[in-house]
Structure 1
Amino acid sequence: MDKIPRPRHEGRYPDRNIDCQEALDLAVRDLVDRAENAGWTASEAYRAIDVIIVAQRLAYDLDPDPAEDPA
């Protein structure tokens, strides 16, 4: 998958979260397919994605834009 679809409307709107889920669904399926082609099982890939998502969400909540941090 090369491109994730943009939101259907500008700004916030009632189904924005659903639209985002639909937009990312194909990208996640593609990622799992690529993991399977590399030798992982779909179950392993989904479990790994679960762990990665939690870790990345926590890191984002602590520091949404690490590029702005002074070196």
Structure 2
Amino acid sequence: MDAPKNHLFTEDRHLHCQAAIDPMLRAVIDKANMNGWGSIETMDAIEEVMKNLRIAYAEDPDPAEDQPIADSGNANDFGEFPSAERLIKAFVEEREKP
């Protein structure tokens, strides 16, 4: 992805970001199509993933600052993903709202 043309926050900066992201998203949808997924279901999945990422970001804006999880020594053990429980909890809480 290209860097912003102007590093200052201008009123059209979001449009430049959309233009930079657009070809990557189209490529994801194309690849999903080639592997048997429909365009609409892929876009729906992208929207759901984005909702979950927003929830995770709201909970922990910089997960890189979190304390590392102790290494078990097992190369196949990728550790526990701490945001998963928060995502599920937030999803359930949101569904229970009137």
TM bracket, shorter-chain basis: 0.7 to 0.9
Structure 1 unmatched ranges of 5 or more: none
Partner of 2:22 in structure 1?
25
Distance in 1, Cα, partners of 2:56 & 2:20: 23
How far did 1:11 drift?
Answer: 2.2
Partner of 2:9 in structure 1?
12
SS in 2 for 1:18: helix
What's the C-alpha RMSD, in Å, of the aligned pairs?
Answer: 1.0
Out of 46, 49, 52, which is 1:52 matched to?
49
More contact order relative to length (CA 8 Å, sep ≥ 6): 1
Out of 28, 41, 66, which is 2:38 matched to?
41
Identity %: 37
Q: Which has the larger radius of gyration?
A: 2
Distance in 2, Cα, partners of 1:35 & 1:17: 26
Corresponding residue pairs, total: 68
Structure 2 unmatched ranges of 5 or more: 69-98
